[in-house]
Amino acid sequence: MFRRLLYPLAFFTLLVSVVACSSNTEGNESSQEPEPSVQVNEDTDSADTTSPEPTATLEPEPTATLEPEPTATLEPEPTATPESEETPNCGEDEYEGWTGECCPTDGSNSNCGVSPCHKIGGSPDWEYDDNGECVEKESLPDPKPQQLSGIQDISACKLTIDSEEAISLAYERPTYRLDSTGPVETVVLFADFTDVSATQTTEEVFSIISPGAEDFFFDQSYGRLTLNLYPHHEWLHLSGPAANYSEAIKTYYGHRDFIQEAMDLADASVDFTGIDSVLVVSTPNATQVGYGPAIMGFGGTEGSLIADGMFITNGVTSGADLTYWGDLWYPHEMGHSLGLPDLYGASIPGRDGFTRPFSLMDDIGSSAPGYMGYSRWILKWLDDIQIACINGTTTVSLTPLAIPEGLKLALIPFSQTHALAVESRRQIGYDSDLTREGAVVYLVNTENGFGGSYGEGPMEVLNDAQALLLGESLTYENVTVTFEETSTEADIIQIQINE
């Protein structure tokens, strides 16, 4: 009974409080806020005051809209935590790379697991943005051909050769040479001799070659060729003294057997499947092996190195001169594996090479040790649209060879085997040490031997092997080349065909 009397008294007190509050808030901006409380009191006035029912209207309030909150958006969160992600099960001699793959700790695959921006040789499709993030590059528009008079179809400048050769400057590449675009997979072996043991670790010797060689090919090919070196870090002990192998490299079969012996010793540990080329690095303290040449096979069992069912037609061995030439030695020798001839040993009085200082295939240690523009074109590192094939008087705008964009080369063919070439060389990249920038004018002759110690030379830079400076000109046969203008972007070259 006492409890029932308390209910009316409680509601009366509540009503008085609400009315008092309502009178104190008159004139406030939020004039609608008190309405729910007033409505509740009106409802309670009409209710049976002897019943506790009016309290029922207040019970749902605490749970009205809050009930779903604990499960609203938080449930999926645990699945995003690192603990729920799969992690690679790397072995003892492996580590987890940036890409999540397991990579060997001995450095035998230098590109394993790294971000595409950090790969040796870089990546043509990725770059760091202003925030240091590795992002895909925006694709550049294709270079537009210069609409000029005196230009003919590019086919007239695609020089030929009468016979199949192991190396050549003809536009069509020799059959058994390396592909010049895409990845080139190369196993690197290390060898010493019965009378000369290695005094350095394989890692120390490998660092003479890599990553300089990979960087060179990425630069010269404008990202179109990626050299991948796979070193087998073990000194392989060959069966004879160093002098025997010094003689072996002077003949094709002797040189082939030298490389094959090293491959046979490594075969139990090295998988040669999918390999394009083999490099055998002789211990540099074996001075009897003074230099290292390339071997250019011709297919089949006689003309190949053989392992794991692979017939490999390209290989190189190093000599003691590796420490002298450094990381550009292998790009010279691999140039032969790509089908390029030597350009040193000029038969021109007063000159040691046909193209120096403008070519690595002439002088590895020169001030501009890259590949000539014509060589880059036949290796498919330059597109046809970047070559002006000329048959009449015209003016062309040539961008420096060291950058990928723009017109790169003017070619004036005299026959299907002989042409005059013009390119722009600036102090950029591997040309940074040039003492004389300008327009380089040179001959290309696919029938002129292989250079080296004999022949007239398949290439020859004119103007006493000097670049033309602004305002200078030269004439060869019926063609006069004049360096007319220059800007930060390009050199303007006039080519006049004299009747």
- The tens digit of pLDDT for each residue in 298-331 reads 999 999 999 999 999 999 999 999 999 999 999 9
**H or E segment and range at residue 278:** strand 277-282
Task: Decide if 437 is inside a domain.
Answer: yes
**Once rounded to an integer, what is the mean pLDDT over residues 94-104?**
71
Q: Residue 472's pLDDT band (boundaries 50, 70, 90)? A: very high
Task: Decide if 87 is inside a domain.
Answer: no
Name the residue among 351, 340, 480 with its Cα closest to residue 422.
480
- What does the pLDDT read at residue 160? 95
Last residue of a domain, one of 54, 69, 84: 69
Q: Are 181 and 322 in a shared domain?
A: yes
Q: Residue 475's pLDDT band (boundaries 50, 70, 90)? A: very high
Q: Are 213 and 320 in a shared domain?
A: yes
Lowest mean pLDDT among 86-100, 104-118, 298-312: 104-118
Q: Residue 107's pLDDT band (boundaries 50, 70, 90)? A: low
Q: Are 320 and 372 in a shared domain?
A: no
Q: Are 134 and 154 in a shared domain?
A: no
Please state, in angstroms and rounded to a whole number, the distance separating the CA atoms of residues 90 and 103: 8
Our CA dihedral for 457, 461, 465, 471, rounded to 10 degrees, sits at 170
Q: Who wins on pLDDT, 32 or 470?
A: 470
Q: Are 371 and 490 in a shared domain?
A: yes
For residue 412, the Cα-to-chain-centroid distance in whole angstroms is 32
464: left (phi over 0), alpha (psi -120 to 50) or beta: left
Beta bridge partners of 236: 191
Q: Cis ω on the peptide bond leading into residue 357 (within 30° of 0)?
A: yes
Identity of the residue numbered 443: L
- What does the pLDDT read at residue 124? 52
Task: Decide if 170 is inside a domain.
Answer: no
Residue 206 CB burial class (10 angstroms; 0-12, 13-18, ≥19): buried
Task: Decide if 80 is inside a domain.
Answer: no
Residue pointed to by tokens 């992690």: 87
Q: Who wins on pLDDT, 360 or 128?
A: 360
Dihedral sign computed on CA atoms, order 413, 418, 420, 421:
positive
* pLDDT greater than 70 at residue 488: yes
- The tens digit of pLDDT for each residue in 30-54 reads 333 333 333 333 333 333 433 334 3
Residue pointed to by tokens 């211990």: 283
Lowest mean pLDDT among 69-73, 94-98, 188-192, 467-471: 69-73
Task: Decide if 40 is inside a domain.
Answer: yes
Task: Decide if 125 is inside a domain.
Answer: yes
Q: Are 245 and 322 in a shared domain?
A: yes
- How many C-beta atoms lie closer than 10 Å to residue 229's C-beta? 23
Helix, strand, or coil here: 348? coil
* pLDDT greater than 50 at residue 57: no
Q: Could you give the residue ranges of the DSSP H alpha helices within 29-186? A: 35-46
**Rg value, the chain, Cα:** 38
Helix, strand, or coil here: 420? strand
Lowest mean pLDDT among 28-37, 59-68, 477-486: 28-37
Q: Are 305 and 280 in a shared domain?
A: yes
Please state, in angstroms and rounded to a whole number, the distance separating the CA atoms of residues 131 and 219: 24
Q: Are 320 and 436 in a shared domain?
A: no
Our CA dihedral for 299, 341, 212, 369, rounded to 10 degrees, sits at -170
- What does the pLDDT read at residue 103? 72
Q: Which residues contact 461 (CB under 8 A, 6 or more apart)?
A: 354, 355, 356, 358, 440, 441, 442
Please state, in angstroms and rounded to a whole number, the distance separating the CA atoms of residues 287 and 321: 8
Q: Are 329 and 351 in a shared domain?
A: no
Please state, in angstroms and rounded to a whole number, the distance separating the CA atoms of residues 482 and 490: 14
Q: Which domain holds residue 296?
A: 175-338
Q: Residue 60's pLDDT band (boundaries 50, 70, 90)? A: very low
Percent of the chain as helix, strand, coil, to the nearest 5? 25, 25, 50
For residue 270, the Cα-to-chain-centroid distance in whole angstroms is 25
Q: Who wins on pLDDT, 370 or 88?
A: 370
Q: Residue 134's pLDDT band (boundaries 50, 70, 90)? A: confident
Identity of the residue numbered 295: I
Q: Could you give the residue ranges of the DSSP H alpha helices within 123-282? A: 202-209, 212-220, 242-248, 252-266
**Once rounded to an integer, what is the mean pLDDT over residues 234-251?**
98
CATH at residue 231: 3.40.390
Q: Are 123 and 153 in a shared domain?
A: no
Lowest mean pLDDT among 198-207, 340-349, 397-406, 449-458: 449-458
**Once rounded to an integer, what is the mean pLDDT over residues 169-181?**
96
Strands (DSSP E) found in 111-194 = 126-128, 134-136, 182-192
Tokens describing residue 204: 């120390």
Helix, strand, or coil here: 3? helix
Percent of the chain with pLDDT over 90: 65
Task: Decide if 78 is inside a domain.
Answer: no
Name the residue among 467, 252, 429 with its Cα closest to residue 481.
467
Taking every pair of Cα atoms in the chain, the longest distance, rounded to a whole number of angstroms, is 133
- What does the pLDDT read at residue 318? 98
Task: Decide if 169 is inside a domain.
Answer: no
* pLDDT greater than 90 at residue 242: yes
Please state, in angstroms and rounded to a whole number, the distance separating the CA atoms of residues 209 and 186: 13
HSE value, Cβ hemisphere, 13 Å, CA-based, for 89: 0
Q: Are 312 and 297 in contact (CB under 8 A)?
A: yes
Residue pointed to by tokens 């950058």: 403
